[in-house]
Structure 1
């Protein structure tokens, strides 16, 4: 049995976003237990030219919703990138998951061969839907999820690989 484009995308996005939500819950507990200013984590970044934690969550959200949109031809919701608190980030994750749950397998039909054109560094890049998903959308999404994890781990939040994987 072969897997569909829907099967190799939507469940992966939803699971990783749920895991990301769990990481944020542990971050909040860390802030409360250590009496820290939440901004210590929210504005943290691995390097000065990288997005802070808030930006990593926003980019992960965008990567998932835009991939689903491009592959299903469904209009994605618009989020303003104004989140500055843990509850706001949790709300964004929840809204992203809610959108992903509305995208049906039928809407993905034919998406493996569909031409996807995106701008990368100001240049148009063309993919088949399958190449887009496997070589850009999923790696990009997981990069931002992983970077959010790395920021929290670097800042002392007690999380590990099983938290990232959702076990």
Structure 2
């Protein structure tokens, strides 16, 4: 039986988002139990030129349910306008992404798979790809990248 696009993307994205939510919970507990200011972990970066934790949480949101919903329009433009600023806001974005993914049916993704989606940034179309390539070769690696920076 061939694997569907839904099978290849949605369960993995859900698993990653649940892990990210668990890490946000752990980070908040660590701060509370050890007298660490929340801002120390919320603003932490792996390197000086990298995004802090809330940006990576937002990126996980962008490259999961939001990406699929943009994919339906034929144009994907990342949305980094609502960066969470505390633990609850991060959990809310993760929960929203999970809710969006729960609403995606296998049939919907199979119908969208061959359609073209354009990646636009700064008002310019930078590339076009099939929906399948968009999810598996663009969105999924970006989701993994952001998740790894949270780990």
- TM bracket, shorter-chain basis: 0.7 to 0.9
Match of 1:161 in 2: none
Shift in Å at residue 83 of structure 1? 1.6
Hey, which of these two has a bigger chunk of helix by percent?
Answer: 2
Superposed, 1:4-153 pairs within 5 Å as 4-73=4-73, 80-119=81-120, 122-149=124-151
Shift in Å at residue 120 of structure 1? 5.7
CA distance in 2, matches of 1:43, 1:53: 6
Q: CA RMSD in A?
A: 2.4
CA distance in 1, matches of 2:70, 2:125: 18
CA distance in 2, matches of 1:95, 1:106: 21
Q: TM-score, normalised by structure 2?
A: 0.86
Query: Secondary structure in 1 aligned to 2:49?
Result: coil
Q: CA deviation digits over 1:141-166, x for unaligned, max 9?
A: 110011111xxxxxxxxxxxxxxxxx
Shift in Å at residue 113 of structure 1? 1.6
Q: TM-score, normalised by structure 1?
A: 0.79
Between the two proteins, the alignment pairs up a number of residues equal to 148
CA distance in 1, matches of 2:65, 2:9: 11
Unaligned runs of 5+ in 2: none
CA distance in 1, matches of 2:114, 2:65: 19
Shift in Å at residue 98 of structure 1? 0.9
45-54 or 118-127: which moved more?
118-127
Unaligned runs of 5+ in 1: 150-167
Shift in Å at residue 100 of structure 1? 1.2
Query: Secondary structure in 1 aligned to 2:7?
Result: coil
Query: Secondary structure in 1 aligned to 2:8?
Result: coil
